[in-house]
Amino acid sequence: MPPPAPPDNPGWSFSGAGPAGSTPEADAQLYLHPQTLSRLSSLELRAKLIVEGVMSGAHKSPYRGYSVEFEQHRPYVPGDDLRHLDWKVFARTDKLHLKQYQQETNLDLLVLVDSSGSMSYGSRSFQDASGLASPIGPHGLEHWTKFDHATATAAALSYVALRQGDRVGVSVFADDLRASVKRTSSMSAWRQIVGVLSTHPIDRPTNIQRVTDQILGKLTNRCLLVILSDFFEDPASIRSALARIRHRGHDAILVQVLDQRETQFDLRGELPLLGLEGEPLVKIDARAIRDEYLRLFREHGAAVEAAARGLAFDFLQLSTHDWLGPPISAFLARRASRLRRSKQR
């Protein structure tokens, strides 16, 4: 596949690679540009391409193994899993003790993708995003939506994790869980993940609090939750959901996917705006309310970010016009820091 024409403004950069460099690494990063991704009809291909683009500048060998190290014994209490009984200690001391291990196995990654109605918004035409002549994308839509951007990112993260032996689970939600793939480290689950992500947003609002409760009820070990959403919800609800995640000892990365027009609100004239989540039709003078809109928008974004940062979660903001490198880079950085903390213990 010929490399696409380099974009004028990649919009982001990360360590070790410049967006406009002439090195092969720099060229590989072009795979992360939405213009490249949107050319691919298959989400699977998109994810692989993203991963290739990220890994080519990050690791020499992504297949570095991890072992399970013994940490301590503790007395058995009824209800413990009998599989962790140390039969050798029972034989020597005639006492039941359980073996406890330092969990340094592969990361459990849980990717949550928002498929609410607001995620179906996209101002960038597919024709512009892909550079192709056809105005209609492979999924039948005219615009490169936030959901397209989020699913591509989710697929890429999943692929990276699977390739490193981590367990990966994926869920698609709106005001409820719509579809999920249980965590697994088998590459064979990759197809399932792609299948779950290959869906469309629905005309429902987001309810992170409920979805979080549903997710956390199923988790028994600590996970890294990557939530891809526009987070157009009450910041208090988001904060509450994140607090629960933190309370359960999980880590999280919040990736807010926005459209550039939403962040700039460069509409003109009097327009009737129709909400995508069942909101009523509102006639507005775009320029008249722009300041107020942007002020509210930024306040909301700041509140969500503050909620995340306050709980020591990462917060990333992606634009549908931006490349996909930042979330993957953030994911990898987060994974490395966790491993370092585990070793220090």
Partner 1 sequence: MGVLHSGILAAGLAAISIPILIHFLMRRRRKPVQWGAMRFVIEAYRRTRRRLLIERWLLLAARCLLVALIASALARPLLGTLGDAAGQSRTVYLLIDNSLPSQVRDGAGGAGGAGGLGRSNSATALDRHKAAARAVLDQLRDGDRAGLILLGRPIDAMIVPPSANLPAVRGLLDAVTPSESRADLHAALDRLAQDLARSSSGSAGAPSGPAATGASGAAGNPQQAAVVLLSDLLDGATDLTRPLPKLPEGLRLVWVHDPAGFAGTSAPNVPSIDPADASRGGAIDNAFITAIRPLRSVLITGPGEQGQTVAVTVARAGPGTASRATVPVELRLTAAALPATSPSTAAESRFGTALASGSGTATFGPGQREATVLIPLEPSAGASPNAGPAAADTAAGTTTSPLAGASGPTGNNAAVLVALLPGDRLPADDRFRLPIELRSTLRIGLIGESRDRALGSADTLRGSDWLALALRPAAASPLELVDLDPAALDTAVLAGLDALFVTLPDRVPEPAWPRLASFVRAGGLLLVTPPAEAAVHTWTDAFTSGLGLDWTIAREARDLSTLTEPLRLLGAVDPDPGPADLLAPIRGDLGELARPIGVLRVLPVTRAGGAAPAGTPANSGVGAPDRSTGSATSLPGSPGATPPAAGQGASAASLTTAATPLLALSDGTVWLWSARLPRAEAPAANPGTGRIAPAPGASVDGSAGVVLFMTSALDLRWTDLPAKPLMVPLVQELVRQGVGQSRPAQWFTAGQWLPAPPQSVSIHPLDDPASDGAGTDRDGSSTPGRRGPRTPAGAPPTVAVDDRGLSAEPFRSAGLYQALDAAGARRGTLAVNHDPLASRTDAPEPAALKAWLDAASGAGPVIISPLGAISVSGQPAPSPNASTVAAPSSLTTLFQHESQRSPIGSWLILFVLGLAIVELALARRASHAGVLGN
232 is a contact residue toward partner 1 (CB under 8 A): yes
Residue with tokens 């002439």: 22
Instruction: Tell me which H or E stretch contains 304.
Output: helix 286-310
Site for partner 1, residues 8 to 37, rule: CB under 8 A: none
Interacting span for partner 1 (CB under 8 A) from 105-113, 190-198, 210-218, 273-281: 273-281
- Between CA 222 and CA 206 the distance in angstroms is 24
- Of the candidate residues 136, 282, 306, 336, the single one contacting partner 1 (CB under 8 A): 282
262 is a contact residue toward partner 1 (CB under 8 A): yes
Residue pair 149/124 in contact by the 8 Å Cβ criterion: no
- First-to-last alpha carbon distance for the chain, in angstroms, is 46
281 is a contact residue toward partner 1 (CB under 8 A): yes
- Between CA 287 and CA 144 the distance in angstroms is 25
> Which residue's CB is nearer to partner 1, number 187 or number 288?
288
- Between CA 59 and CA 77 the distance in angstroms is 44
- Residue 255 CB, shortest distance to partner 1, in Å, is 16
Residue pair 162/185 in contact by the 8 Å Cβ criterion: yes
- Of the candidate residues 134, 221, 270, 336, the single one contacting partner 1 (CB under 8 A): 270
> Which residue's CB is nearer to partner 1, number 59 or number 298?
298
- The DSSP secondary structure of 63-113, one letter per residue, reads ------EEEEEEE--TTS-GGGB-HHHHHHHS--EEEEEE--S--EEEEEE
- Residue 177 CB, shortest distance to partner 1, in Å, is 21
230 is a contact residue toward partner 1 (CB under 8 A): yes
- Between CA 174 and CA 155 the distance in angstroms is 18
Site for partner 1, residues 135 to 174, rule: CB under 8 A: 146
- Between CA 196 and CA 180 the distance in angstroms is 7
296 is a contact residue toward partner 1 (CB under 8 A): yes
- Of the candidate residues 82, 187, 273, 336, the single one contacting partner 1 (CB under 8 A): 273
206 is a contact residue toward partner 1 (CB under 8 A): no
Read off the amino acid at residue 80. D
> Which residue's CB is nearer to partner 1, number 4 or number 275?
275
> Which residue's CB is nearer to partner 1, number 184 or number 263?
263
290 is a contact residue toward partner 1 (CB under 8 A): yes
What residues make contact with partner 1 under the rule CB under 8 A?
Answer: 117-121, 146, 230, 232, 259, 262, 266-268, 270-277, 279, 281-282, 284-285, 287-293, 295-297, 300
